[in-house]
Chains A and B, each alone.
Chain A
Amino acid sequence: EVQLLESGGGLVQSGGSLRLSCAASGFTFSNYVMSWVRQAPGKGLEWVSGISASGGSTDYADSVEGRFTISRDNSMNTLYLQMESLRAEDTALYFCARADIVAANFFDYWGQGILVTVSS
């Protein structure tokens, strides 16, 4: 059974840092593109960042470029999101999501999400 379990969220002051983790199980993690997607309270879904299966290629939404860093440890089956210079508008539920293995065009499995709250 595919499982994605996020951790590391919490309350942080504006300008602070936080590192999210996503522990993957039930599939060969190193074969899949992975992403972080967030959802601000009462709002829609926003893609944040993605990383290739090997970890050699990363992409970011403009809203987080230069502040967030995505990475992965394929030996530990874990995805990370290092968040720096956090702002109130980064407050959201952060989901870890697996992209489809064929072309990474959509997300076939999602974690339950972890809440990040940035206080101003």
Chain B
Amino acid sequence: EVVLTQSPVTLSLSPGERATLSCRASQSVDGYLAWYQQKPGQAPRLVIYDASYRGNDIPARFSGSGSGTDFTLTISSLEAEDFAIYYCQQRSNWPPMYTFGQGTKLEIK
């Protein structure tokens, strides 16, 4: 079973700063990693899929990179609406299941 480990657990930054979130997989997931944003009281929202492709209506300040076991979500210049919890996720064929990381809380400093 693939385990996804996100770091840091909490990231405190100010609007306008650059955010770098990490997700490490216990074994290679090739390029099939997604990132989600979740705000309090809301459903998760797809931000990045297949490691580097932005979801629908996701601003260009969000970018994803990585392959194999190490992945990064970067927000180039934080806006107030970006402060949320971010989860990475992968799908494995055996056992057939989806796995999420434990989340990184991006909070306003």
Contact surface of A with B, Cβ cutoff 8 Å: 35, 37, 44-47, 50, 59, 61, 95, 100, 103-113
A107 contact from B32, B42, B44, Cβ within 8 A: B44
With A35-B98, A44-B100, A47-B98 known to touch, is A105 a contact of B91 (CB < 8 Å)?
A: yes
B11 within 8 A of A: no
Select one of B56, B87, B91 contacting A45, CB under 8 A. Answer: B87
Give the complex CA separation of A106 and B100 in angstroms.
Answer: 11
Residue from B32, B38, B46, B101 within 8 A of A108 (CB atoms): B46
Of B43, B45, B49, B99, which contacts A100 at CB under 8 A?
B49
Interface residues, chain B, CB within 8 Å of chain A? 32, 34, 36, 38, 42-46, 49-50, 55-56, 87, 89-91, 95-103
Min CB distance B57 to A, Å, is 12
Bound-state Cα–Cα, A50 to B99, Å: 12
Closest 9 pairs (CB-CB, A-B): A106-B34, A47-B98, A110-B43, A45-B100, A59-B96, A106-B49, A105-B91, A105-B32, A44-B103
Name A93's closest neighbour in chain B (CB-CB). B43
Chain B residues with CB below 8 A from A37, complex form: 44, 98
- Give A55 to B109 CA distance when docked, in angstroms: 47
A111 to B45, CA, bound (A): 10
- Among A104, A108, A112, chain B packs the most CB atoms within 10 A around the CB of A108
